Amino acid sequence: MVDAPAPLRIALAGLGTVGAGVIRLIEANAALIARRAGRPLEVTVVGARDRGKDRGIDLTRYAWEDDMVIMGERADVDVVVEMVGGSDGPALACARTTIEAGKALVTANKAMIAHHGLELAGKAEQAKVALKFEAAVAGGIPVIKGLREGAAANEIERVYGILNGTCNYILSTMEDTGRDFADVLAEAQAKGYAEADPAFDIEGIDAAHKLSILAAIAFGGRLDFAAVETSGITRLRAADIAQADALGYVIRLIGMADTMDGTDGKCLFQRVQPHLVPFNHPLAHVDGATNAVVAEGNFSGRLLFQGAGAGDGPTASAVVADLIDIARGEIGAPFSVPVSELEAMAAADAGSRRGRSYVRLLAADRPGVLAEITAAFRDAGVSIESLIQKGRSDDDAVMVALVTHEGPESAVTHAVRLLSGSSSLTEAPLVMHILGD
């Protein structure tokens, strides 16, 4: 008689929305998961900051560990799922201790991976244990697995997408209702789509964390979060949304990464910034809190991954998918290739990139202002495709929106620099690039 396979024994560090979702998913689909994993998944230990909090699930069947950092050292644990959050502190200590104890680690913590992923991956490779983080990027969308496995035979030429559901909800709601940013942000906070302190989301930092992870996997480069050029959506106005619509675009916060040839080899370009997206592009139709990632392979062509980027169900689904891989004995290099083989790429010079741009200026309503603006773009060598001047806004400024012909980004930057400090402008120009095909 063949003995039943031993279960994969799991410790959950953190019992927030996702942690509780992991328990519910494992319980609800236990038989299905066991068949697909080849062995049962069994939660044995849990821990969180507040033991007495009502989470809507029965925790009495599990051992409780007050010190989540040492979970991986317990004899009744094979893998720790870290959902504490934060790039440092208890989350990082838990991750290090777990791997050093020879146990596998699953995490949904994009900040920790973006800042310390190379260190943790190196430790995991040395200890010959799995480090999995599918849930750290785009929630329930299997984009990491798609890049690391499904598109493994391809040279990825570009990866980009909508990586933050909060920003996408705000932008698509502004688009649908004509309301301004602050009003829609307050609504998003009331509905739970935005945190009480939404800075990481609306300033683009959350998307930058995710982009740096995707770029490392897609291009085989070393993680370089510090090199991500990041700007958020806080300066956008309803008038920008309306103007983009009139021109045939929607505005989306896009994280984009690709490689460029430099003097000393390949350079890595990484940027998070609001873009004008043409109506006919797949990302233009991604609304609400949805995430979507596009990867362009040299043989596969354009691949689109789309789905819920957050929430207990989708994120728990990604966590448990990683646990199933571990139960099957699948380890693999966390970033597709061993850390020692990841290429150190210099940050690319964005100024040499070519494309079209949208520039919005708020200017005083007086003679000669339009001539001053157009002269700056002329002197910078920027060809203007279209220019629209709107009437006064609530703050008595005139909105001037222009779209450039294709040219180097450095020229647009130079034009903006020429206008810097001009008494004719009531605030700094807003530049958004137009997403190409």
Two structure tokens written together for 431: 């530049």
Q: Which token pair is 389?
A: 């001047």
CA distances from 397 to 49, 115, 392, 393, 426 (A): 50, 42, 5, 6, 7
- Could you write out the DSSP letters of every residue in 272-336? EEEEEEETTSGGGG--TTEEEEEEEETTTEEEEEEEE-SSHHHHHHHHHHHHHHHHTT----TTS
- Burial tier of 92 (Cβ tally within 10 Å: 0-12, 13-18, 19+): buried
Return d(Cα 133, Cα 212) in angstroms, integer: 13
Output the six-digit token pair for 430: 């807003």
- Element of type H or E holding 343: none
Distance, CA of 196 to CA of 93 (rounded, Å): 26
DSSP character for 221?
B
* Catalytic residue chosen out of the listed positions 123, 210, 266, 390: 210
- How far, in Å, CA of 67 to CA of 328, rounded? 29
The residue behind tokens 């996997």 is 217
H or E element at residue 83: none
**For residues 212 and 134, what is the distance between their CA atoms, to the nearest angstrom?**
14
Cβ burial, residue 228 (10 Å; 0-12/13-18/19+): buried
In single-letter form, the type of residue at position 393 comes to S
Work out the angle between the directed axes of helices 238-247 and 165-177 (0-180°, nearest 10). Answer: 80
Cβ(315)–Cβ(135) below 8 Å: yes
Residues facing 158 on adjacent strands? 258, 296
What whole-number distance in Å separates Cα of residue 208 and Cα of residue 222? Answer: 15
Measured distance CA(413)–CA(36) in Å, rounded: 53
| Contact (CB, 8 A) for 387 and 401 | yes
Catalytic residue flag (residue 128):
no
Catalytic residues: 210
